[in-house]
Amino acid sequence: DLLGWDNQTKAVLVGVGNLGTALLGYQGFENLGLRIAGAFDQDPAKIGKWIQGRKVQSISHLAAFVRRGGIRLGVLTVPATAAQATADIMIHAGIRGIWNFSPVRLEVPAGIVTQKEDLAEGLAVLSHKLQHLPPTESVRQA
């Protein structure tokens, strides 16, 4: 209740590449109160296709979809070269919180919140921890 997981939050995902597709298919979000209501991309080869149960729409339809659904949260999974421009489009469309999976620190106006997920940083932390494990004489088989 304190974290707001008992309330459902609708979100849009922008960037339906490999990572975006994986996030669209992740069932665990529903348990945390997050429902990705729409998927958007600029690639004509993806627009109109059904991916993980959602029809990919053109990013040009984002603002109308956000307004119609009262959506405030966006998931950003685009390449670095498109990250800031796409974030700007999302903000202009009415998104107020961006869960950023791109490798870019976004510049956003006051009143917009972001959470950056850096997969490379996570790998670096894991590798560091792995290097500092005590040596083992044998590895147990699962």
Tens of pLDDT along 60-108?
999 999 999 999 999 999 999 999 999 999 999 999 999 999 999 999 9
Q: What is the pTM of this model?
A: 0.86
In whole angstroms, how far apart are CA 108 and each of 9, 50, 83, 115, 129?
A: 21, 31, 12, 12, 33
Question: 100-121, pLDDT tens digit by residue?
Answer: 999 999 999 999 999 999 888 8
Q: How far apart are CA 98 and CA 119, in angstroms?
A: 16
